[in-house]
Amino acid sequence: MNAPSDYRFVGEYMDDGTVFVHNKICVGDAVEIIPIHGRNKTLTIQKIIKNNEELQEFSAGNSESYVTLIFD
């Protein structure tokens, strides 16, 4: 039996630089970026920006689930 994962899929990076969020994210969360080419990177979310407003957390769930993430 496998142990539950400590990881969850956060979202997809879009061509315009935004992220389409699939799960809840918070400032301070460590995320692993998995690029098509190159090495994976682990970064910490420093800012979440939606409609020019800085948020502490963001939950997904609809077609408006696009945010800009600023990392360390």
Domains observed in the chain: 11-71 (2.40.30.10)
Angle at the Cα of 43 from the Cα atoms of 41 and 48, rounded to 5 degrees: 135
pLDDT at 67: 96
pTM: 0.84
CA of residue 12 relative to chain centroid, distance: 8
Structure tokens given for 31: 């995320």
Structure tokens given for 25: 């994210």
Judge whether residue 72 has pLDDT over 80. yes
**67 vs 13, 32, 38, 40, CA distance in Å?**
10, 17, 24, 21
Residue 21 identity (one-letter amino acid): V
Q: Tell me: the pLDDT tens digits for 6-34?
A: 788 889 999 899 999 999 999 999 999 99
Q: Tell me: the pLDDT tens digits for 40-63?
A: 999 999 999 999 999 999 998 788
